[in-house]
Amino acid sequence: MNRSKRLSAFLSILIAVLFLLFLLFPLYWMLLTSFKDNSVLFKLPPEWWPSKPVLSHYDKLFSDGVFLGYYRNSLIVCFCTTAVTLLAAMFAGYGFSRFEFKFKSFALFSILSTQMLPVVSLLIALYTMYNNYHLLNTRAGLVIALTTSCLPFSIWMIKVFFDNIPVDLEESAKIDGATRFGILFRIVLPLTKPGLFSIGIYSFILSWDDFLYSITLINKDELRPLNAGIAIRYIGELSYDWSSIMTVCVTSIVPITLLFLFFQKYMVSGLTAGAVKG
Amino acid sequence: MRLSEKKKDFLFLAVLILPALLLLLFTIGIPILKSLYLSFFDVSLLSMKTQTWNAFGNYKKLFADQELVHAIGVTFRYVVTVVFLQFALGMMLALILNGKIPFRRALRTVILIPWVIPTIIGALLWMWLFQPQYGVMNFILQRLELIGKPLQWLSDIHLALWAVTIAALWKQLPFMVTMLLAGMQGIPGEMYEAAMIDGAGKRQQFFHITLPMLKNTIKTVTLIACIENFKMFPLFWIMTSGGPVNATTTLSILSYKTAFIDLDLGKGAATGALWLVIMLLFSWVYNRLFAIGEGKGGAAH
Amino acid sequence: MRKTLFTGLVLMIVLMLAACSGGKGDEGSQASSPAASNSASADAQASGNADSGEPITLKFASWSISEEATKGALEEMAQKFTEQHPNVKIEFVGIPFGDIKQQTFVMASSGNAPDVIQTFTASFPTYAASDIVIPLDDLLGQDYINDLLPSYKEDYTYNGKLMGVPWAPSPYVLYWNKELFKKAGLPDRAPQTYDEMLEFAAAISKLKTDSGEQIYGLGEATEKLPINGMIALRNIYSFNGSVFGADGKVNVNTPEVIETLKYYQKIVKDGLSPQGAKLKDLRNLFSIGRLGMYSDGYYGRKVFQNLSGKGEAFDSAWGAALIPTNKTNESVSIGEAHGLVVSKDSKHPEMAVEFIKFLTDEPMISLYHDNSDVMSARKSIAVLPAFNASEFDKTLNDQLLHIKPLPANNQGLEQAYLEIATAVQKVTVAGESPENAAAELDSKLKQIMK
């Protein structure tokens, strides 16, 4: 008994280590590559630890302000998207949770099914519309597009949170003469803090991941967000300059990873609370 | 004049849901209708001025060449594999992390990192790892004597889809694990204690307590995973562009290629329309599957 | 507690919206800066001699502007142009090579295309046959057109009209790695014939790196891309084949084409060539001494210097030579050129053409040549000593004399190139028989190239 217990404990640790290797080794390799000079980069067997780490790839990357510009654009766009998504999803989720109306389930289903649509097949129509409304090459336009890609799941998740809050609370507040918005903001919202956090983080990560919208709707370099900027400027057509590419990758993920590690407590609890109860 | 409570309710509701609905209508609703409309016309980016009705010609063309069927096949193969693996491996890792393993708190955080990494960066990273001549993956596998000679990964007709699947797993597994883990932590410990007293083994506990209790979580996370992977574009586009030959041409790649490489917007739109139909059917079936053996409205609360 | 949370939330949202609108504010300031520079240049113009005129912004869609190797040169050119034409501002629209066609077409679909678009030979036919670019004969004038090298002029002509300008032309030549030749005990010269090339390649393929990794003898690009189909056409030409039969109609189900496909199949199967490579993969392998020979345009040198990690010292490790002779008993290659087209949406086509002339004129091409070995498609410039100085220049110019024209531009030509590449991929990756692949290709091309 004891032996088999120890064996199973050993096995779990072994499996956990394997998973860890799978998930983290690529990141280590990315980091390592970014410090390698081209003269050692292609060597086999590879250097598992840089014998002569170089910073030249980072120097080159930061020598012009372009990369930081992309970064700033991404941050602005993602924060705005998150804010707009939070507002819109919060309202809509509350509406769907608290009110019964005709076509409600149809509306909910349609909203959710927009999530299934390939962005690809909407691009042309979207581009033409954006052009007509002068939204091309504006951050606002990109924010609107990204918001709608975040909204469906956000509405869905936050609705579940609202569903779990007893209606009695609101009724007693109503009797005390609180307005509808008052009830929403003072009573219901504070209770859905984890839900708001979770959809906020979900939207942020989703918009940070976007590639298609930003590459189509933005073609001014000074407005381009990170992913599009990377694809355009750093992948390169003449050759695969792997150490430079990996340098760009490292630089682009370090801040978001730190941000994530800082917030992860809220994020995980919020995200999971929503889905588990849903 | 005072509005009746009912009117007020209605106004309030309108204020609540209209912003979201209008946003969705603007960037998704209208474009969908527009592209559905386009799917019935001869439209090419070569000459946008002329659009002629072609009597379902786009759809006929689509069904005439085998590309569509092939792409549907590839898409389903990819989605099923990646979601299944994700779920199975995710469950395994979640069980381990739910147990008494050292550093589990730190582990739970650290494994989530790949999830925040943008898909395009993940794609580039895995291309570098999979590089056939000097990539580290081949080197490691050769050293471990798991393979005899370097694999061609992304340019091998049988391996390419697997290579993309691995890259997708890497990014998506963490989310799956986290969700399942949270679900497990929500299961009251007494249930397991009671089962132990009844003499149930680990396996029985898993099948009779853990799985049933996780049902809703599983439904949600696998549905999210299915949808995300159905739509998956950047990973394929950057890693293989649908090749070699058409081994990794999924529906999203096909519709992108038709619309933007062949510049045949009409046919591209028709692909998109069919896709929508497939997705709706899929989610209907999916809901049905999960509803089996469940009272109505089981998922609501 | 609730109150603070609520205030916090509102504050957060307000802050974010502020950040958002702040972003828009930035935009405004960015938009105003060109205006400022314009007014500054207007002053310069008043004191100077330049042609007067209202401020013009020319949008120039290009992938070279975002390539490390060429970015600097292009920026310099734009700046020089603005010095000459103070009222004109060149605004670069950087789009990756692989996306530039679809992006510019999408832009054009809403009347929004950049004034000048960079393209290349394999993609050009699609532009030429579309309604988004304009013919340039009248705008350029006969003198300019007559100065173009005939084969390049042909490549940029559609229905008798010049629809684009060949800008940075290059023939495909054979690159060979001297060190690997030496190591394999081969003579210190490039192979003269295909047979010899295959023989050399086999010898090099027997070599291993110090750590026992495979070395390839001869690289061919077999990834499914239009450009690789065009390159395959070079091989088809070498095997004395063509896309067209004697009657001028499409016919690729010929022994020559089948033999070309066999050649591809063989070199991949025997491990002489890497599988499913793009040209850039080949450049990488060549740079690190794991590829003996491959053919490419002028683009190589800078890339080799960078990736080999040896800088200019690596220049002596390789040579460039004419494409070996094959069934035609003379070297046959194809010429490719990055080209420039003017979009129909352009409000200043005259100025756009002026810019193109400026770019292709001697000073700017010289600058580009010094920067990245670019040649000129204009007879008067190609013969200048500066373009014939190095061994490398001479080889390129020599090969230019041995070029077979590409098929006349046709709406389906780019698609046809893609199909040829697909056929190559089918025989090399999917193990399909060359006979089958050629037959399938034949029926496809007959549909496409009407």
Domain definitions of chain B by residue range? 70-247
Q: What is the pLDDT of residue A268?
A: 67
Using a CB cutoff of 8 Å and minimum separation of 24, what contacts does A31-36 make?
A31/A246, A31/A250, A33/A242, A33/A243, A33/A246, A33/B128, A34/A58, A34/A243, A34/A246, A34/A247, A34/A249, A34/A250, A36/A243
Q: Which fold has domain B70-247?
A: MetI-like fold (1.10.3720)
The reply to whether residue A44 touches residue C302, judged by beta carbons under 8 angstroms, is no
The reply to whether C302 and C379 lie within a common domain is no
The reply to whether C427 and C312 lie within a common domain is yes
End-to-end CA distance of chain B: 40
Which CATH number is C225's domain given?
Answer: 3.40.190.10
The reply to whether residue B182 touches residue A272, judged by beta carbons under 8 angstroms, is yes
The reply to whether C349 and C293 lie within a common domain is no
The reply to whether A7 and A72 lie within a common domain is no
Domain assignment present for residue C424? The answer is: yes
Residue A236 has pLDDT above 90, yes or no: no
Q: What is the pLDDT of residue A156?
A: 83
The reply to whether A3 and A86 lie within a common domain is no
The reply to whether A46 and A63 lie within a common domain is no
The reply to whether C104 and C214 lie within a common domain is no
Please, which pLDDT band fits residue B2 given cuts at 50, 70 and 90?
Answer: low
Q: Would you say C319 and C301 are in contact if contact means Cβ atoms under 8 Å apart?
A: no
The reply to whether C287 and C306 lie within a common domain is yes
Q: What percent of chain A is predicted at pLDDT more than 70?
A: 95
Q: Tell me the per-residue pLDDT of C35-77, one tens digit each, with 9 for 90 and over.
A: 333 443 444 333 333 455 789 999 999 988 877 778 889 999 9
pTM (predicted TM-score): 0.87
Ranked by mean pLDDT, which of A225-234, B19-28, B48-57, B211-220 comes out on top? Answer: B19-28
Q: Which residue has the higher pLDDT, B42 or C349?
A: C349
The reply to whether residue B120 touches residue A227, judged by beta carbons under 8 angstroms, is yes
Counting beta carbons within 10 angstroms of the beta carbon of residue C397, is it exposed (0 to 12), middle (13 to 18) or buried (19 or more)?
Answer: middle
Q: Strand locations in C2-103, DSSP E? A: 56-62, 88-94
Among the candidates A36, A54, A72, a domain finishes at A54
Taking residues B51-59, report their average pLDDT: 81
Distance from CA of C442 to the nearest CA of A (A): 31
SS3 at position B48 = strand
Residue C25 has pLDDT above 80, yes or no: no
The reply to whether A175 and A42 lie within a common domain is no
Domain that holds residue A155: 58-277
Q: Tell me the per-residue pLDDT of C310-346, one tens digit each, with 9 for 90 and over.
A: 888 999 999 999 999 999 989 999 988 999 999 999 9
The reply to whether A74 and A33 lie within a common domain is no
The reply to whether residue B243 touches residue C224, judged by beta carbons under 8 angstroms, is yes
Closest residue by Cα to residue A272 from B217, B84, B95, B299: B217
Q: What is the pLDDT of residue C26?
A: 39
Domain assignment present for residue C403? The answer is: no
Ranked by mean pLDDT, which of A105-114, A210-219, C186-195 comes out on top? Answer: C186-195
Q: Tell me the per-residue pLDDT of B240-296, one tens digit each, with 9 for 90 and over.
A: 988 788 899 999 899 888 888 888 888 888 888 888 888 888 878 877 777 654 443
SS3 at position C89 = strand
The reply to whether residue A148 touches residue B16, judged by beta carbons under 8 angstroms, is no
Domain assignment present for residue C34? The answer is: no
The reply to whether C184 and C209 lie within a common domain is yes
The reply to whether C154 and C229 lie within a common domain is no
Q: What is the pLDDT of residue A272?
A: 60
Domain assignment present for residue C32? The answer is: no
The reply to whether A126 and A23 lie within a common domain is no
The reply to whether residue A237 touches residue C30, judged by beta carbons under 8 angstroms, is no
Residues 72-101 of C with CB under 8 A from A: 92-99
Q: What is the pLDDT of residue A60?
A: 85
Please, which pLDDT band fits residue A256 given cuts at 50, 70 and 90?
Answer: confident
The token pair that represents B169 in the structure block = 């797993």
The reply to whether C417 and C311 lie within a common domain is yes
Interface test with C, best of B133, B149, B233, B248 (most C CBs within 10 A): B133
Q: Would you say C116 and C95 are in contact if contact means Cβ atoms under 8 Å apart?
A: no
Q: What is the pLDDT of residue A273?
A: 60
Q: What percent of chain B is predicted at pLDDT more than 70?
A: 95
The reply to whether C160 and C272 lie within a common domain is no
Which chains sit next to C, with 3 or more Cβ pairs under 8 A? A, B
The reply to whether C137 and C257 lie within a common domain is no
Among the candidates A33, A54, A75, a domain finishes at A54
Domain that holds residue C357: 50-171+336-393
Q: Tell me the per-residue pLDDT of A119-142, one tens digit each, with 9 for 90 and over.
A: 877 887 888 888 888 898 899 999
The reply to whether residue A148 touches residue B280, judged by beta carbons under 8 angstroms, is no
The reply to whether A147 and A24 lie within a common domain is no
Please, which pLDDT band fits residue B1 given cuts at 50, 70 and 90?
Answer: low
Which chains sit next to B, with 3 or more Cβ pairs under 8 A? A, C
**Domain count within chain C:** 2
Domain assignment present for residue C29? The answer is: no
The reply to whether residue A223 touches residue C27, judged by beta carbons under 8 angstroms, is yes
The reply to whether A146 and A259 lie within a common domain is yes
The reply to whether A84 and A174 lie within a common domain is yes
The reply to whether A169 and A249 lie within a common domain is yes
Q: Would you say C397 and C388 are in contact if contact means Cβ atoms under 8 Å apart?
A: yes
Please, which pLDDT band fits residue A1 given cuts at 50, 70 and 90?
Answer: low
Taking residues C233-254, report their average pLDDT: 92
Q: What is the pLDDT of residue A275?
A: 54
Distance from CA of B280 to the nearest CA of A (A): 7
Residue C256 has pLDDT above 80, yes or no: yes
CB contacts of A193 in chain C (<8 Å) are 5
The reply to whether C114 and C259 lie within a common domain is no
Q: Where is average pLDDT lowest: B62-76, B284-298, C288-302?
A: B284-298
Q: What is the dihedral of CA C151, C153, C158, C160, to 10 degrees?
A: -100
Residue B91 has pLDDT above 90, yes or no: yes
The reply to whether A47 and A69 lie within a common domain is no
Q: What percent of chain C is predicted at pLDDT more than 90?
A: 55
Distance from CA of B7 to the nearest CA of C (A): 28
Taking residues A218-236, report their average pLDDT: 84
CB contacts of B154 in chain C (<8 Å) are 276
**Domain count within chain A:** 2
CB-based contact, B157 to chain C, within 8 Å: yes
Average pLDDT of chain C?
85
Among the candidates C346, C368, C393, a domain finishes at C393
The reply to whether C324 and C349 lie within a common domain is no
- For the four alpha carbons of C28, C34, C38 and C44, in that order, the dihedral sign comes to positive
The reply to whether residue C131 touches residue B49, judged by beta carbons under 8 angstroms, is yes
Q: Name the residue among B47, B133, B260 with its Cβ closest to that of C274.
A: B133
Distance from CA of A236 to the nearest CA of C (A): 6
CB contacts of A40 in chain B (<8 Å) are none
Q: What is the pLDDT of residue A278?
A: 43
Taking residues C210-222, report their average pLDDT: 90
The reply to whether A141 and A177 lie within a common domain is yes
